[in-house]
Amino acid sequence: MTTARPTVLLVDDEKANLRLLSDFLRQDTGIILAQNGNQAVEKAVAMQPDLILLDIMMPGMDGFDTLRTLKSIPSTSDIPIIFITGLDNPEKEQEGLRLGAQDYIHKPFNIDVVKARIATQLEIVRQRRALQQLSRDLSRASEAKSRFLANMSHEIRTPLTSIIGYAEALLADEFKGEEKQAIKAISISGKHLLTLLNDVLDLSKIEAGKMEIELLPVNLLELIEEVRTLVEDSARKKQLVFAVSISETLPRHIYTDPVRLKQILVNLLSNAIKFTKQGKVTLDVGIESEQLFFKISDTGLGIDKKRQAELFAPFTQGDSTITREFGGTGLGLSISAQLANKLSGQISLESELGIGSCFTLTIQAKLCEIPSMEEEKPDQQSKLRGKILLAEDSNESRQLLTRMLQSQGLDVRAVENGQQLMEAAMAEEFDLIFTDINMPVMDGLQALKLLRAVGVETPVVALTANVMSEDIQMYMDAGFSEHLSKPIDRLKFARLLQQHLPDISEQNELAMPNDEMRQLMSQFVSGLPAHLQAIKLAYQQNNLSQLEQLAHKLRGTAALFQFKQISEMARQLEHHMPIEKLPLALQDLSFEVEKLIANTDSLSID
């Protein structure tokens, strides 16, 4: 309509009126004529005029009925209608307007008024169409952006998978001290990078209203520790004091979305560190009237009262000097506030310019009775028995996965694409199949379909970097037994193997005679004081990596012998957290060990 001449449909049973009006209007508009209601509807549907001038008094279908019909047809419902009437009846006029007419023109016409009213309606139509077009363009651009973000994140996830996976595999090896710290740093940074990548995806998901929350049992202390590891280095680099204080009454496990909770905390803490030049940043965690609170305080720049509310809107930052000095995108607080909402919580802010800020995240404490999966994890990995077929086209990923499977004691046959997978599965019998989805020659989905078609019923696990829930649903619908996303969550991986394959270490344990077990147990208990001494020494020498290794060893062995209390204390020491509580924790452990030694005679293995 911006370029073409607008068209007007004139509807009147009097030919003379039609002629008169069309003579006046022809110069500026295209004209379509109709002599009754039925014709008007037919022509409106077929020719989509920009405006309809509609007589009211017509034989058969009158103007009101015609208007009702036009409004009920989707393709004509938006066409503006002006009634032409010889009546002077305000009530009827009101009814016509209520039914959706835009305007009235009274006979006899004053042609200048008629032209002005028509021009007004046509201008409104033009503007509405321009807005509709703009809205279509914007949503197309937004869709393209979301697709681009999803594709990019997919492409980056794949190599990142290898980096994190290898770091994790190396961590399981015999590395010690500084080397172990370096590998840990690769693993932690890789995971953080992955989280950032996911943030970019989040933004597009939030914008599209597609953000999903996954509630899981979460060990709060471990989550806070991970957050600390991610941010403490940047605080140290700025020579800021960084302290974490955790209330004694904090529940150990809650149901929440750990990724999102961590994301909010890391964001708030990173901001606190970023905008603080000297002094300290603290994280206080506690519970108050069934609400968990995470208070992030800093002694930084502070935020002007007038600007505080705005900062939670996307792309809002402090003044331009702040942006120049500190960088950033202005997205963090907006994403965090929306995520807090999703976790049934909120973020509040108290801040004073020049003094500092305190952001408080409150979320509902959905307590979780069952122990988190993390604690079910056996410290000494159980060995499994089984034959695995693995299809993965990337060399590094194939080797890594093979190694991970072999480290579980499994017999692995690794192939490079779906066709080789088919050939292998038909030639030999396997207990479990893992397959990548995107592979050359034949992809994982096709391979699965063919396997089922030839009657191979072995469970097949989809391995993929696609994490969109629609994709996962599509794999499950296609008949995959499970989905494992890259980077591989080792815990989920181990649980999945345990579900599908027999655990031979459990059988060994069951087969072990009681007196042999008792002897091993008392050996362990009598070695405890020396072990404890070594831990204390590491602490005195401030050798935290040594302390960590010793505590880790104690944690695993104690768990194996069912000394849960000691294992838990060792776990806390292993994460040396919070550091100021270490002396007290060591004392507690000494008491516990003494108690155990005193009761050694009554040890029971049942």
Based on CB atoms, which residue is closest to ligand ADP, 335 or 437?
Answer: 335
Q: Does 100 bind ligand ADP (CB under 6 A)?
A: no
Least distance CB 423 / ligand ADP (angstroms): 52
For residues 65 and 39, the answer to whether their CB atoms sit within 8 Å is no
Burial 530-553, CB ≥16 within 10 A → b, else e: ebbebbbebbeeeeeebbbbbbbb
* Cα atoms in the Cβ-side hemisphere of radius 13 Å centred on 143: 6
| Nearer residue to ligand ADP within complex by CB, 333 or 365 | 333
Which residue among 272, 462, 496, 569 contacts ligand ADP (CB under 6 A)?
272
141/136 Cα distance (integer angstroms) = 9
**Residue 122 half-sphere exposure toward CB, CA atoms < 13 A:** 23
Taking the complex as a whole, the smallest distance from the CB of residue 319 to ligand ADP amounts, in Å, to 8
* DSSP bridge pairs for 358: 297, 350
Q: Which is nearer to ligand ADP, 66 or 317 (CB)?
A: 317
Q: What is the 3-state secondary structure (H, E, C) of 463-524?
A: EECCCCHHHHHHHHHHCCCEEEECCCCHHHHHHHHHHHCCEHHHHHHHHCCHHHHHHHHHHH
Out of 242, 275, 480, 563, the residue judged to bind ligand ADP by CB under 6 A = 275
Q: What's the longest Cα–Cα distance across the chain?
A: 117
DSSP state of 56: S
Q: How far is the CB of 164 from ligand ADP (least distance, A)?
A: 25
Closest contact distance (angstroms) between CB of 334 and ligand ADP is 6
Q: Which stretch binds ligand ADP (CB under 6 A): 42-50, 61-69, 115-123, 269-277?
A: 269-277
Q: How far is the CB of 235 from ligand ADP (least distance, A)?
A: 13
Size of residue set near ligand ADP by CB under 6 A: 20
State the Cα–Cα distance between residues 583 and 590, nearest whole angstrom.
11
Closer to ligand ADP by Cβ: residue 317 or 417: 317
Separation in Å, CA 262 to CA 42, 95, 216, 380, 571: 61, 59, 13, 28, 20
Short-list 10, 100, 8, CA closest to 58? 10
What is the smallest separation between the CB atom of 244 and ligand ADP, expressed in angstroms? Answer: 17
Q: Which CB atom, from 298 or from 443, has the smaller least distance to ligand ADP?
A: 298
CB of 289 to ligand ADP, least distance (A): 26
3-state secondary structure of 284: strand
Q: Fill in the DSSP letter of residue 305.
A: G
Which residue, 97 or 353, is less far from ligand ADP as judged by CB? 353
Residue nearer to ligand ADP on the CB measure, 320 or 523: 320
Instruction: Select 201 or 240, whichever has its Cβ closest to ligand ADP.
Output: 240
E strand segments, 97-145: 103-106
Whether 40 contacts 9, CB under 8 Å: yes
CA separation, residue 19 to residues 9, 12, 51, 477 (Å): 13, 10, 17, 65
Question: What's the closest the beta carbon of residue 228 comes to ligand ADP, in angstroms?
Answer: 17
Nearer to ligand ADP, 282 or 485 (CB): 282
Q: Which residues pair with 269 in a beta bridge?
A: none
In the complex, the smallest distance separating the C-beta of residue 362 from ligand ADP, rounded to whole angstroms, is: 17
The CB-of-196 to ligand ADP minimum distance in angstroms stands at 12
Q: What is the DSSP letter of 29?
A: S
Cβ neighbors of 579 (< 8 A, separation 6 or more) are none
CA distances from 52 to 142, 382, 571, 584 (A): 35, 79, 78, 85
CB under 6 A: which stretch of 83-91, 99-107, 152-160, 270-278 binds ligand ADP?
270-278
Q: Which residues share a beta bridge with 54?
A: 11, 83
Which residue of 100, 330, 409, 556 would you call a contact of ligand ADP, by CB under 6 A?
330
Half-sphere exposure of 274 (CA within 13 A, CB side): 15
**What count of Cα atoms within 13 Å lies in the side-chain half-sphere of residue 99?**
21
Q: How far is the CB of 330 from ligand ADP (least distance, A)?
A: 4
Pick from 328, 378, 409, 556 the residue near ligand ADP by CB under 6 A: 328
Among 50, 298, 393, 431, binds ligand ADP (CB under 6 A): 298
Q: Which residues ranging from 405 to 434 are in contact with ligand ADP (CB under 6 A)?
A: none
In whole angstroms, the minimum distance from the beta carbon of 315 to ligand ADP comes to: 8
Pick the closer one to ligand ADP by CB: 330 or 378: 330
For ligand ADP, which is the closer residue by CB, 232 or 588? 232
Binding mask 339-378 for ligand ADP (x = CB under 6 A): ------------------x---------------------
d(CA 354, CA 279) in angstroms, rounded, equals: 12
By CB under 6 A, what part of segment 299-318 binds ligand ADP?
300-301, 303, 311, 316-318
Residue whose entry in the numeric block shows the structure tokens 């080792």: 490
Nearer to ligand ADP, 221 or 281 (CB): 281
For ligand ADP, the closer CB: 25 or 272 = 272
Could you give the CA distance from residue 4 to residue 135 in angstroms, rounded to a whole number?
21
Kindly tell me which residue out of 333, 447, 497, 593 binds ligand ADP, with binding defined by CB under 6 A: 333
Binding segment for ligand ADP (CB under 6 A), chosen from 150-158, 325-333, 420-428, 436-444, is: 325-333
Rounded CA separation 279/239 (Å): 8
Candidate list 6, 217, 258, 332; residue touching ligand ADP; CB under 6 A = 332
User: Which residue is it, tokens 């932690």?
Assistant: 188
Tell me which residues touch ligand ADP (CB under 6 A): 271-272, 275, 298, 300-301, 303, 311, 316-318, 322, 328-334, 357
